[in-house]
Amino acid sequence: MKRLRERNSSQRRRQRAGANGRQRATAAAEAICSAQHVYDLRAGKSSSDVFYATASRVADEAVAEIETNAGVLLDGYQRYVQSLAEAPRSWDEYAIEFLTLGMALHCYEGVAENTPGWVVRLARWLTRARSRAGIAKPLLDWIRAGIAKYAFAPALGSAAQKSASAAVRLARLVEWLEATGEFKQESRRLRNWTSFLAQFEPETATHWLHVADEIFEEFEWDAAETLGCYTQNVSPFVKREQLSPRWREDLLFRSKPAAEYHLSMVAAEVMNRGLREDFERTQKRVLLVPTCMRAKRDACRARVNGVDITCTGCDPECTVHRITKRMGAKGIPVYMVAHASGFSRVLKRWEQTGTGVVASACMLNILPGGYEMRERQIASQCVPLEFPGCRKHWDEKGFQTSVNEERLVQIVSR
């Protein structure tokens, strides 16, 4: 922990002298980033090539930091989850899980502590019931929107007391994450961490929660400086969202801080590396793109067959048409996914089939999507959208999104 303490001391000095430094960094970011999008991987440039190089470097640094300060713990965790019959993952992916644990503690432990137990229990019941609610789903979502607006959101940013045992803290945090309905995959991974840390003496388990929190806090600071130019509109967007009187079922999703975008950027790089070897062995591959990538959604004549949505080439200027044409030349089918909630239904057919799946999605869906494809034993790769634009979450009118097509072609063609 010596290195981490030294870095934290340096961080405190930067914070004292450094509010001005952060302001300068923010000003620089604002000068080069688009003001239109919540995040933008192009950062005022014609392509997102620089982003991928930067994200790769930040991923290397984050994994190295975790290895230095929690390598022994990660080695034990890797053996533990494999004893649960989980298929092996790369060590770096377990490091991302540890960073995810730190994120959950750092960003949400306070609100989990400050949410009454009966509210958490009600929200958990509503989240589970909506999956089988049928015509009652809109009503359940309306109630969930009220809970998000008046019970969850007001406590965001609350400081955690951290007075309970590690087991109690983690159990309460995971229950809250599950109750929101926004952290389905993350909470599953954290349940593994909860049972793993339960094997330790209470003081030792608490120590490792502290380490996870500190490492994420350091990551948050460093990523803000290196990746902040891609997310400079997140904070203003969240502030507007918090002030809006409108009830939204996806309020917590839209209120996620820039640090979670940065975590997803790093996770995308690390997960792609961890799955690359398996993906390269696949003989059959498919590409999934979101429907928000269409040029004219209301006039789109896509073919719908069950969960399959495929391009018919009705608009030569449409990005989906262009990508479908390029992939068709390589014998790779392209399917559109209407929204994140339909992702699981689309994935089911390729579970444990040996088919390689490449998915392009909004940055905040990259981490849970990667966890789900790992869980389903699908050899996958991901390419995040350069900016979000769907009507469901980001813009009432919606606008056409894009992806780094050359990177997409490079990954699919491996």
Question: What predicted TM-score, i.e. pTM, was given to this entire model?
Answer: 0.88
Distance CA 108, CA 183 (A): 11
Asked whether residue 90 falls in the same domain as residue 238, the answer is yes
Asked whether residue 204 falls in the same domain as residue 312, the answer is no
Final residue of a structural domain among 264, 299, 334: 264
Final residue of a structural domain among 212, 237, 264: 264
Which residue range(s) make up the domain with 405? 281-412
Which pLDDT score, from 0 to 100, does residue 354 have? Answer: 86
Which pLDDT score, from 0 to 100, does residue 30 have? Answer: 41
Distance CA 144, CA 399 (A): 27
On whether residue 27 sits in a domain, the answer given is: no
On whether residue 38 sits in a domain, the answer given is: no
On whether residue 318 sits in a domain, the answer given is: yes
Asked whether residue 335 falls in the same domain as residue 247, the answer is no
Which pLDDT score, from 0 to 100, does residue 315 have? Answer: 87
Which pLDDT score, from 0 to 100, does residue 20 have? Answer: 47
On whether residue 275 sits in a domain, the answer given is: no
Asked whether residue 304 falls in the same domain as residue 403, the answer is yes
Asked whether residue 320 falls in the same domain as residue 247, the answer is no
Q: Work out how many domains the chain is built from and give that number.
A: 2
Asked whether residue 186 falls in the same domain as residue 335, the answer is no
pLDDT digits (tens, 9 = 90+) for 234-288: 999 988 888 888 888 889 999 999 999 999 999 999 999 999 999 999 989 999 9
Asked whether residue 63 falls in the same domain as residue 212, the answer is yes
On whether residue 1 sits in a domain, the answer given is: no
Asked whether residue 232 falls in the same domain as residue 349, the answer is no
On whether residue 160 sits in a domain, the answer given is: yes
Asked whether residue 195 falls in the same domain as residue 309, the answer is no
Asked whether residue 225 falls in the same domain as residue 295, the answer is no
**369, two tokens:** 């999507």
Which residue stretches of the chain have pLDDT < 70?
Answer: 1-35, 340-342
On whether residue 394 sits in a domain, the answer given is: yes
Asked whether residue 257 falls in the same domain as residue 153, the answer is yes
On whether residue 4 sits in a domain, the answer given is: no
Which pLDDT score, from 0 to 100, does residue 24 have? Answer: 43
CA atoms lying within 13 Å on the CB side of residue 121: 3
Asked whether residue 361 falls in the same domain as residue 240, the answer is no
